[in-house]
Structure 1
Amino acid sequence: MSALEPAADPAAALAALQGALSDPIVRDLAWLLFSVPLLRAQPPAGPLAPAFETAQEEAATLVWLRELDRDPAALHQAIAATRITRLGRYAECLLGFFLQHGPACRLVAANVALRLAGRTIGECDFLVETASGRRLHWELAVKCYLHAGGDRAELADYVGPNLQDRFDLKLAHLLGHQLPLSAREEFAALGHRGPWQPQMFVKGWLFYRWGETPPVPLPVDPLHHRGFWVTRGDWAASHARRDDARWAVLPRLAWLALRPSVADQDAAAAGLMTAEALSERLAQPTGPVMIAAFERDPLAPGRWCETERGFVVPDEWPEQARAYALSIA
């Protein structure tokens, strides 16, 4: 069985794939499967979870995604069956659909709760079996972290937009608590025959203060998806002068893949607006807001395509983020 060789340019390969897909949810699923992980492998406790065991499975998945894009009703029904508001839950539903219906790993069980003395001590996200018979325990995490600014580059410097999550704490919880769950004696009593090999399935975006390029911490994959962040006060100087662009506010469940291109006649319905209109919206007192820039597609006249994304944060956010990054857990 041949090992799957990584694409020479993962970003270009993902862009080409998504260029062939039009349904937003199918695009999100493709992004989840083919995007670069946020983290490097963390041996011995945290190996990465490859979505495919062989190059043949990857090729079959590409065909499967294109067919799904032509008729995505089953995927839409699976997503609509649960009222999803959290990005992590959305990603779980996408990956679960692939494991149930896609041409690669087989889903054995999902969200397997482990209880001790009547209380839940954790859940295993996915138990999967490969075509070769390997039994894997996948822990899925999809995260958007903002670098708190400055030249320091440690995982603690990457914080959630609402300052309720931090990358170093998430990784420590993955390695120290979530991944070891399937090796516990209590887990064996649940009836899922092992042993299970734990693996991390960690995807997402990292955002850097506009104009700053700090070094990347060793655990982070240097090819990770990147965006920007600016304060409301800096918005006008950094981006609002771009009269050639259109802008959109992205709801939480649109934080995965780049959004599909938009035709001129559909721009208003898709929420695209001028920089001036976005500035007026950002003037309303709110927390961090994710936005996306759309520019004219040079290969498709009359269409707008997403070219970058980022967060606009309150003016007091950088000081709060730095304090949170330096705080003792």
Structure 2
Amino acid sequence: MNHQPENQPSQNVLQSQPLRDLKWAISSPSLITQSSEEQHLFEVPDFQTVDVLHLENYLAPYSHFRIGTYFEGLVLYWLEHICRLKIIARHQQIFEANQTIGEIDILFEDEAGVVNHWEIAVKFYLYDPGENHTGSHFVGPNVKDTFEKKMRRLFGFQLPLSQAHFPEVTRRQAFVKGMIFYHPDHPAPTRLPEKLSPTHLRGSWLHLSELSRLTAQHGELRFLIREKPDWLSAALCSKTENRLLGFNELQQQLETHFQHNHRPILISALTCQQSVCREVERTFIVSESWPQI
């Protein structure tokens, strides 16, 4: 019998980004607090038994879209192909007086025959303790979105849509995953916004001029620039991965980027042991003027 060496990932997990992302989508902590009624969980698979080729083929159309669409594809795969639940509707448009007033992400029937309405989202926010034009301290990388704004839309508009238009719906839930990024000089506030879970995943953010703080904290590292939709699971790759960068290469690429663009860049810092490199830190690098961009 062949045994996987201790602390070594299986070939399936190492080679398949979609499989790691599926595990993250299902098993990572919720970004938001949920009542006991909302914590209705379905089957969590043995990920070694997931048909990787089937998963990758299913997700192929989603990989070309924005990260929210890709995340939704992962959740749908879980519900439909692992939990074997009946999907009633996806992206169901709601009309009033011949006008589209909104859209429901997904309606499905669970194993007990209960009709569920889920709104699915994956969000990333940076904690900015200062004053900024958004009126929030939890700001999206592009500064167009805030945590509070997203919660108002989810719970004040999107979830109530099914109450008037789908009376058969018994359970409504926002399925929200993601991360909050904190500057190392600004620890998390003692009082979080309503609905932000205290057990949320955390990363860090730095201005470009502070980049050297990464190596000061962790020592010798390799780096990956994370391109959407590859923002979900922790980076894990072979030591020979050609996208791995040294610190000087990373700094050069970031300096070139910020000469012409204010878009924050998400990076993973990795340590390498034997033939495998694993993420130890997830960091947004922002321009010197962020969040005033």
TM-score, normalised on structure 2? 0.86
2:15 paired with 1:35 = no
1:19 CA drift (Å): 4.7
Provide, for residues 181-225 of structure 1, a one-character-per-residue CA deviation record: whole Å limited to 9, x for no partner: 1111xx24xxxx713321110100110112321225052211111
- Find the aligned partners of 2:220 and 2:99 in 1 and give their Cα distance: 56
State the distance in 1 between where 2:99 and 2:235 align: 41
Q: Report the equivalent of 1:282.
A: 254
Aligned to 2:278: 305
Task: Give 4+ residue runs of structure 1 displaced > 6 Å after superposition.
Answer: none
8 A contact 1:107–1:127 mirrored in 2: yes
5+ residue gaps in structure 1? Answer: 1-15, 322-329
Instruction: Choose which of 61, 66, 91 in structure 2 pairs with 1:111.
Output: 91
Equivalent of residue 166 in structure 1, options 137, 146, 149: 146
Counterparts of 2:120 and 2:89, CA distance in 1: 14
Q: Name structure 2 gaps, 5 residues minimum.
A: 1-5
Deviation at 1:111, TM superposition (A): 1.1
**Cα pair 2:215 2:221 within 8 Å, conserved:** no
State how far apart, in whole Å, the 2-side matches of 1:180 and 1:196 are: 12
Distance in 1 separating the partners of 2:266 and 2:81 = 32
Other-structure match for 1:253: 229
1:146/1:309 CA distance change after superposition, 3 Å: same
The 5 A counterparts of 1:26-175 are 26-41=19-34, 48=38, 50-52=40-42, 57-58=43-44, 61-62=45-46, 65-68=47-50, 71-82=51-62, 84-103=64-83, 105-150=85-130, 156-175=136-155
Out of 215, 219, 222, the position equivalent to 2:198 is 222
Offset at residue 128 of structure 1 (A)? 1.6
Number of residues of Structure 1 aligned to a counterpart in Structure 2: 277
Change (3 A) 1:292 1:272: same
- Tell whether the 8 Å contact from 2:63 to 2:229 is kept in structure 1 after alignment: no
Q: Distance in 2 between matches of 1:73 and 1:128?
A: 25
Cα RMSD for the two superposed structures: 2.7
Structure with bigger helix share is 1
For 2:238, give the aligned amino acid.
A
Residue 150 of structure 2 aligns to a residue whose secondary structure is helix
Aligned with 1:254: secondary structure? coil
Q: What residue identity is the alignment partner of 2:185?
A: G
The residue aligned with 1:199 is 173
Structure 1 length-normalised TM: 0.77
Q: Secondary structure at the match of 2:56?
A: helix
Partner of 2:3: none
- Compute the displacement of 1:151 (Å): 10
Matched-pair identity in %: 30
